[in-house]
Amino acid sequence: MEIFKIVGIGLIATVLSVVLKNQKPEISLQISVVTGLVIFIMIISKLASVVELLNMVARKIDMDLMYLTTILKIVGIAYIAEFGAQVCRDAGEGAIASKIELSGKILIMVLAIPILIALLNIILQLMP
């Protein structure tokens, strides 16, 4: 049962962090960052299997793979940027977190712009 492990780790880390907060705030900060990383690593293998399954289904039903890879790439960028930003925000660095989010948004836009331009081209060609 994965969820027990994760909740257990989370609760223990929370108690430790709260106990240490008054004496050594910097250590409690490190505990929270490391706990976040551990939970993320534990869950990311499950996420990978889900994504793999979606990929397999898409291949089976013969959907255009281009759309799927684009969507999955965007979701991956969103996930990783979100995670990094949250870790930074936990550490009290809101400015760095917003920079990470900004770069994630820019990378998503880079993936989105070709689709946008293709759509524009199609619409222009539909109207002769």
Partner 1 sequence: MFDFLKDWIKNIVILIIFITMLELLLPNSSMKKYVNMVVGLLLIIVILNPLVLIVNKNIDIENEVFKTSVEIDKNAVVLTHSNLEKTQENQMIQVYKRKIEQHIKERVLHNNPVDVKNVYMEIDEDQTSDNFGNIQNLKIELSPNVEKKSDNENLQPVSQILVDIKSNKENDTEHEQIDEQIVNQIREDMAEFYSINSKNVVINVKQ
Kindly list the residues in this chain that would bind partner 1 in the complex (CB under 8 A): 47, 50, 54, 58, 61, 63-64, 66-68, 70-71, 74-75, 78-79, 81-83, 101, 104-105, 108-119, 121-123, 125-126, 128
Query: Do 104 and 77 touch, CB atoms closer than 8 A?
Result: yes
Find the Cα–Cα–Cα–Cα dihedral 30, 87, 45, 1, rounded to 10°: 60
Tell me which long-range contacts 102-107 makes (C-beta under 8 A, separation of at least 24).
104/77, 104/78, 104/80, 105/81, 107/77, 107/81
81's CB contacts (< 8 A; 6+ apart) are 100, 101, 103, 104, 105, 107
Q: Which two tokens stand for residue 123?
A: 């619409």
Question: Which amino acid is located at 57 in the chain?
Answer: V
